[in-house]
Amino acid sequence: MSLAGTRLADHYTLIRPLGQGASSLVYVALGDDGEAYTVKLFAPPLADHAAREARMRVRGPHLAEVMLLSEVAGQPAVVLRFTKGTELFSRYRFRPALERERPAFVRTLSDVLEGLAAMHAGGWLHRDVKADNILVQKSGAATLLDYDLSGPIGETFAVPLRIGTAAFQSPEAQRGEVLGPQSDLYGVGVLLYWGLRGELPADGESDLAGEPLEKLCANLLEADPAKRPSDAEQVRAELLRSI
């Protein structure tokens, strides 16, 4: 049943569904201020996901801004400022992206790294850096979104949790270990590999050597997190030096 027309928090009106995510139904909404917003509706059993996403209040130019946590028709709802763009893989249809649209794709990765730098400086990890969670404009400008798996740096759990999406997951995330910024940067390495090769790396293996971007990618895909870069801003600077 469509919830179009439903009011939320006495300020937002749901307009139409945008799509179905892994854990939420997404609507576009219009605020009484005339601005567009994204509303993510979670099933009641996933209330903890909604609460986790709403806690991520780090601000940055390439982060989807979380506004508030509310409820619609008995469902937890997270309101975010609306983000324009196309999911990364759909935006870069002609591959490898770094051969076909090098300036735009470098800008995309640069923006993602700037967003991660802001999150990490604020004490948060994204923990699900992947193409589906990055919206890209024609220019290559990008926004990182979806924080329902995000959490504090070094967060521990009663039992090991394998957080993230398998194809972009760091080895330590696959093992359910405590995560640091290196884990998010592994996901950037997967995206960089895809930009270089037009496909995702298989089983963490890479055949990279030679040009500076390939060396950077190999470092980001290092299996040992202690040997992997941990500073998103430094990785961004190296990326921009390598073009």
Tell me the DSSP string of 53-111: HHH-----TTBPPEEEEEEETTEEEEEEE----EEHHHH--SSSHHHHSHHHHHHHHHH
Beta bridge pairs of residue 72: 75
Which CATH number is associated with domain 7-81?
Answer: 3.30.200.20
Residues with catalytic function: 128
CA distances for 137 relative to 4, 83, 204, angstroms: 27, 10, 29
Closest CA to 233 of 131, 105, 121: 121
Instruction: Note the pLDDT of residue 21.
Output: 75
The low-confidence residues of the chain, meaning pLDDT below 70, are 203-207, 209
Instruction: Note the pLDDT of residue 126.
Output: 97
Q: Can you say how many angstroms the Cα of residue 4 is from the centroid of all Cα atoms in its chain?
A: 27
Mean pLDDT for the chain? 94
Instruction: Note the pLDDT of residue 156.
Output: 87
Contact 221, 169 (CB under 8 A): no
Is the CA virtual torsion 133, 183, 163, 71 positive or negative?
negative
pTM, rounded to two decimals: 0.94
Domain coordinates in residue numbering, the chain: 7-81, 86-241
Which CATH number is associated with domain 86-241?
Answer: 1.10.510.10
Instruction: Note the pLDDT of residue 209.
Output: 66
Instruction: Note the pLDDT of residue 66.
Output: 96
Instruction: Note the pLDDT of residue 207.
Output: 67
Instruction: Note the pLDDT of residue 163.
Output: 86
Instruction: Note the pLDDT of residue 157.
Output: 83
- Measured between alpha carbons, how far apart are the two ends of the chain, in Å? 49
Instruction: Note the pLDDT of residue 19.
Output: 87
